[in-house]
């Protein structure tokens, strides 16, 4: 089933049907004006000729009407599926039945996309395990937050230094630990500058490393108190790949960016 533009289909139907009826009328009057036969015979032949074209026009009208209805039904069903996919799962064997050959193509496309999503989910889960391993073994005391300042990851070195557990810190705000930090202003500064920013809290120097994705949007911020880590800005544009970081903070930023995407 090929999707057809309804306006073009209607225009094509009008042109074809008008041409058919016009040809019938032209032949009708042409036969009536010919010579060599009696008037009754000419009238009969002209009416037969016109009748054939009228039947042809009726068949064309019926065919175009059915095709137009089919196109409208397919469009409506696709619109319902698009709306349904916003709130629930789509089951190809159930929801693509009424689409005919188009449904078969959609089922194949859905299966391929679903397989890609499964592989991507498995890769993300592997990256999560790799991220957990690095956070447990990295020597830097660090916290990783989202753009609102909620703590997502805590290194073992930070937990040991500040006598806390990862469970206690997860999803809490960073300013509950570093009270002197103005998180909204800091996040705005990091997102605009795309470079690390040094702050101070109770005489403790904190270096804040922004982590951007390939679209230049900041997804994470890494907080490293007392120490500095080598930093590579992993933000790239277009289809360029994220640069490979050669230090602990750079490698962690790359993993977090990939996990987000």
The domain segmentation of the chain, as residue ranges, is: 6-88, 138-260
Give this prediction's pTM. 0.53
Question: What superfamily does domain 138-260 belong to in CATH?
Answer: PAS domain (3.30.450.20)
d(C-alpha 243, C-alpha 145), whole Å: 21
186 three-state secondary structure: helix
Averaging pLDDT over each range in 4-8, 60-64, 142-146, 167-171, which range is the top one?
142-146
Residue 70 pLDDT exceeds 50: yes
SS3 readout for 74-89: HHHHHHHHHHHHCCCC
pLDDT tens digits along 96-122:
777 777 777 778 888 888 888 888 888
pLDDT at residue 150 in the model: 92
Q: Considering only residues 185 and 230, tell me which one the structure prediction assigns the higher pLDDT.
A: 185
- Average of per-residue pLDDT across 212-233: 79
- Label residue 20 exposed, middle or buried (CB < 10 Å: 0-12, 13-18, 19+): buried
pLDDT per residue as tens digits for the range 127-138:
778 888 888 888
């Amino acid at each position: 089933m090929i999707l057809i533009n309804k306006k073009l289909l209607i225009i094509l139907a009008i042109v074809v049907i008008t041409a058919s009826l016009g040809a019938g009328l032209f032949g009708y009057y042409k036969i009536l004006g010919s010579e060599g036969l009696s008037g009754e015979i000419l009238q009969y032949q002209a009416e037969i000729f016109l009748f054939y074209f009228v039947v042809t026009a009726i068949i064309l009208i019926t065919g175009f009407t059915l095709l137009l209805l089919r196109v409208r039904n397919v469009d409506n069903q696709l619109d319902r599926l698009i709306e349904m996919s916003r709130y629930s799962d789509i089951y190809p064997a159930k929801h693509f039945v009424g689409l005919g050959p188009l449904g078969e193509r959609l089922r194949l496309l859905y299966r391929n996309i679903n397989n890609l999503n499964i592989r991507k989910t498995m890769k993300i889960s592997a990256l999560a395990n790799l991220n957990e391993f690095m956070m447990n073994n990295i020597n830097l005391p660090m916290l990783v937050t989202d753009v609102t300042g909620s703590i997502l990851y805590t290194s073992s070195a930070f937990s040991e230094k500040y006598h806390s557990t990862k469970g206690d810190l997860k999803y809490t705000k960073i300013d509950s630990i570093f009270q002197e930090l103005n998180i909204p202003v800091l996040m705005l500064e990091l997102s605009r500058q795309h470079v690390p920013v040094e702050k101070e809290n109770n005489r403790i120097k904190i270096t804040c490393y922004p982590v951007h994705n390939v679209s230049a949007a900041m997804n994470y911020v890494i907080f490293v108190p007392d120490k500095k880590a080598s930093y590579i800005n992993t933000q790239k544009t277009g289809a360029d790949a994220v640069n490979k970081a050669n230090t602990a903070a750079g490698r962690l930023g790359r993993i977090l960016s990939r996990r987000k995407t």
